Structure 1
Amino acid sequence: MNRRLTDGLKAGGRLSFSGIVNILIAVIIFSLIVIFHELGHFLLAKRNGIAVTEFSLGMGPRLISTVKGGTRYSLKLFPIGGSCMMVGEDDDDNSAGSFNNASVWARISVVAAGPIFNFIMAFVCAMIITSVVGYDPASVTAVQEGSAAEAAGLREGDVITEFNGKHISIGRDLSLYQTLHGYQDKAIDMKVKRDGKIIDISFTADSVEKKMLGFTYSSEGPAQIMEIYIDSPMMKAGLQAGDVITGIAGTKISDGQELQTYMEEHPLTGEEITLTVERNGKEREVTAKPQMRTVVSSGFAYNLYREKTGFLGVLKYSAVEVRYWISSTVQSLGLLIKGTFSVNDLSGPVGIVDAIGDSVQEAKSEGSVILGMQMLYWVILLSANLGVMNLLPIPALDGGRLVFLIIEAIRGKEVNRNVEGMIHFAGFVLLMLLMVFVLFNDIKRI
């Protein structure tokens, strides 16, 4: 069963113990990421002689504070995030030791340090995960007999290093490519490593016309939705990853094997089909009409499981892990800009807490080590995400401030502070409106 934060709600709207634990874990993860971000600003400010009036953990009224070296260090009431307050950061103070009095390159380093520290945090967490459970080599685990891939010379055990011009380091690189791009044409050009040699393999992928609903599901245990294809009938009908199929066309389904058997015995036609799914502890129906699509098959399967590696491998694949999440965020933003995704697909705090709660519940049954790895996994994902988002050239974000500082460095003259202030304020208002919209969407999905 797919458990979510909302499953923690008892009768009367009260949170259960598990719901509270999920929220606390999410708050801790968010706080660690934000604090490390602010620590980057703090350390570089100190390094460049900029006076920091306060460095705080949490928000709200101070519980404990002490002053050392001209900086007040505070622990505040609400354990959410933190802050680094510098003299002259948000006003016209040009006194010695103020942010405005520092050189433009010093200010650039201070502003950029926050996102960079998020990437450093992600790398450290990735090192822990890679040391304990290893990495996922992009090795071919099976080649379909009689497929174009087999005819082209692909063999089980080959390690994929390049796919249609995309460098591949881990199995998830290929998975991300296929999820975001699919097979836009049927031509596949690969490079694989076999017995220490790089081999070029090219072939035209096999294809077949068939009716599709557009999702994949777990074949072991409950028939849980693993992936929904972009613009598929079921995606448009409201099916979500994590939903558990409990019935199809009036027939009860207890697990993935039963669903597979049903689908084999009842091939899809052009008629509408209704799925009964369980979401947040409640059953609902989702109806869609299958579409005729050309299904392209690569003709091979590849590894997504982790295996141990040595010290140098840990360093290498920890960097690869961070690069993967940075790339995932950047490519997803690109698809959002192109219109492939819409703002309705974005998740805010409620959605993220919901997803973290899911992973906590699933990891609990695997033991404390797996639970710890799962939490570190979220730290990597969100740290890389926050780092990328903060570097975007959007007013009010670190990236927006960097744009003005770079302009100043090129011109040798700062941008009018009033103009810059108004632009940042407008950006802040727009970001808050977006946050409210995303939060509303989160709540609407519950």
Structure 2
Amino acid sequence: MIVSIIIFFIIFGVLVISHEGGHFLIAKANGIRVNEFTIGMGPALFKTKKGDTEYSIRLLPFGGACIFDGMDGLEDDKEEESQEYDEHSFRNAKVWSRIATVFAGPFFNFLLAYVLSIIVTAFSTWTFPVVAGLTEDSAAAEAGLAEGDTIISINGESISMGQEVTLISQLNNGEDLTIVYERDGEEYTTVLTPKYDEESGRYYMGVYVGEYGNITGIDILPYAYKNVVFYFKMTWKSLAMLVTGRFSVNDLSGPVGIVKAVDDTYEAVKPYGLPSVVLTMLDLALFLSVNLGVMNLLPIPALDGGRLIFLLIEVVRGKPVPPEKEGYVHLAGMIALMVLMVIVLFNDIGRFIR
């Protein structure tokens, strides 16, 4: 478990530095003053100041922050009236400079994910969406699929890897699937109706997918991109299921849950040697980086997506929302997120000690 905790802190640190570093670099490029760059939350374990920016590492591994001068607008009315911000404050920067600064955090997470994906794709095997087998009396067999068929698309969604077929199958709720597949150089289309399994309580296509091969040369770049897109779709579809009620808050994981996932993954791949451990952890970091990017773009107050909504409103209106009003909205969002984090933490601990 100690090794897994160390791995978690390394992954966490890289993700946070990437995200907050994106905000920091673009802010600096646009002449916006950064008051503090911090990793973690709570009491400071380490602090140092260089130029206008204080750099700190804090006790609780629950995120980080890049705090800009004049960003929150939570000062009281009297202080607001007397407070002056120069041209290097966040609120006095051009609106598109502020939009770029806020968007940079999630964007750098996606950029990091792509870099990691290049490494993983170059040194791992790729799972091509080729039918490797069918279950007895399966929906896939009834639809005409056979071993050796290559699945090209499902419901108009292009398929490049076997994991995409598995994800669609896992999230299916009995809806028909229009499948385009290739057999002997010819394309065919069929409609597959997944069958419900009482024992597992879910619908199955009844197909095993996976033909393994290596990606080499320049092909690594587009395939690495496809890998990032797959994790993006996985995150987005999971969020959609949370909104529609198919997932609940109890299905969410926080830091403790991630440590448990790291530990389970580490124990599973450890027998295969250090290279397998490294590649698997890089793949996990890739997934978490995409997840962090997507989550921060949600239009929720206090998150980057919520701040972008206010900035886009400013673009449309031609003037900003009053800073104190925006500040209170983000404060309410932060409180709600903290409550959610506490709930998730207790759920994680409950799962961890079972």
Q: Residues of 2 paired with 1:440 and 1:77: CA distance?
A: 21
Q: 1:431 to 1:43 in 2, by over 3 A?
A: same
- 1:50, 1:102 within 8 Å by CA — same for their partners in 2? yes
Q: Residues of 2 paired with 1:74 and 1:202: CA distance?
A: 58
Q: Residues of 1 paired with 2:312 and 2:194: CA distance?
A: 50
Which residue number corresponds to residue 85 of structure 2? Answer: 94
Q: Residues of 1 paired with 2:7 and 2:137: CA distance?
A: 49
Asked if 1:104 corresponds to 2:104, the answer is no
Match of 2:26 among 44, 56, 62: 44
Which residue number corresponds to residue 162 of structure 1? Answer: 153
Aligned letter for 1:420? E
How far does the alpha carbon of each residue in 1:290-309 deviate from its partner, in whole angstroms, 9 at most, with x for none? Answer: xxxxxx66454211x64211
Aligned letter for 2:311? L
Which residue number corresponds to residue 301 of structure 1? Answer: 208
Aligned letter for 1:102? A
Which residue number corresponds to residue 312 of structure 1? Answer: 218
Q: 1:66 to 1:430 in 2, by over 3 A?
A: closer
Q: CA deviation at 1:104?
A: 0.5
Matches within 5 A, 1:44-443: 44-56=26-38, 60-61=43-44, 63=46, 65=48, 67=50, 70-72=51-53, 74=55, 76=57, 78=59, 80=61, 82-91=64-73, 93-143=84-134, 149=140, 154-185=145-176, 188-197=177-186, 199-203=187-191, 205=193, 212-214=198-200, 229=201, 298=205, 300-303=207-210, 306-443=212-349
Q: Residues of 1 paired with 2:138 and 2:297: CA distance?
A: 44
Q: CA deviation at 1:114?
A: 0.2
Unaligned runs of 5+ in 1: 1-18, 215-228, 231-295
Give the root-mean-square deviation of aligned CA atoms. Answer: 2.6
Q: 1:315 to 1:90 in 2, by over 3 A?
A: same
Asked if 1:26 corresponds to 2:17, the answer is no
- 1:148, 1:203 within 8 Å by CA — same for their partners in 2? no
Instruction: Tell me whether 71-80 or 119-128 shows the greater mean CA deviation.
Output: 71-80
Q: Residues of 1 paired with 2:281 and 2:122: CA distance?
A: 15
Q: CA deviation at 1:145?
A: 8.3
Q: CA deviation at 1:118?
A: 0.5
Count of residue pairs the alignment pairs up:
341
Which residue number corresponds to residue 267 of structure 1? Answer: none
Q: CA deviation at 1:54?
A: 3.8
Structure ranking higher in helix proportion: 2
- 1:62, 1:75 within 8 Å by CA — same for their partners in 2? yes
Identity %: 43
- 2:143, 2:192 within 8 Å by CA — same for their partners in 1? no
* SS of corresponding position for 2:190: strand
Q: 1:318 to 1:426 in 2, by over 3 A?
A: same
Q: 1:362 to 1:419 in 2, by over 3 A?
A: same
Q: 1:149 to 1:411 in 2, by over 3 A?
A: same
Q: CA deviation at 1:183?
A: 3.5
Q: TM-score, normalised by structure 1?
A: 0.70
Which residue number corresponds to residue 8 of structure 1? Answer: none
Q: Residues of 2 paired with 1:90 and 1:43: CA distance?
A: 19
Q: Mark the structure with the bigger radius of gyration.
A: 1
Aligned letter for 1:43? L
Q: Residues of 2 paired with 1:374 and 1:313: CA distance?
A: 21
Q: 1:410 to 1:300 in 2, by over 3 A?
A: same
How far does the alpha carbon of each residue in 1:404-437 deviate from its partner, in whole angstroms, 9 at most, with x for none? Answer: 0000011101001111111111111111111111
- 1:153, 1:201 within 8 Å by CA — same for their partners in 2? no
Q: Residues of 2 paired with 1:361 and 1:25: CA distance?
A: 12
Aligned letter for 2:209? Y
Q: Residues of 2 paired with 1:404 and 1:31: CA distance?
A: 29
Q: Residues of 2 paired with 1:336 and 1:146: CA distance?
A: 32
Which residue number corresponds to residue 256 of structure 1? Answer: none
Unaligned runs of 5+ in 2: 74-79
Instruction: Tell me whether 158-167 or 360-369 shows the greater mean CA deviation.
Output: 158-167
Q: TM-score, normalised by structure 2?
A: 0.87
- 2:131, 2:148 within 8 Å by CA — same for their partners in 1? yes
- 1:364, 1:371 within 8 Å by CA — same for their partners in 2? yes
Aligned letter for 2:182? K
Q: Residues of 2 paired with 1:90 and 1:145: CA distance?
A: 60
How far does the alpha carbon of each residue in 1:179-218 deviate from its partner, in whole angstroms, 9 at most, with x for none? Answer: 0114324xx4321234554x123155585x87x321xxxx
Q: Residues of 1 paired with 2:280 and 2:311: CA distance?
A: 38
Q: Residues of 1 paired with 2:225 and 2:194: CA distance?
A: 35
Q: CA deviation at 1:79?
A: 8.9
Aligned letter for 1:31? G
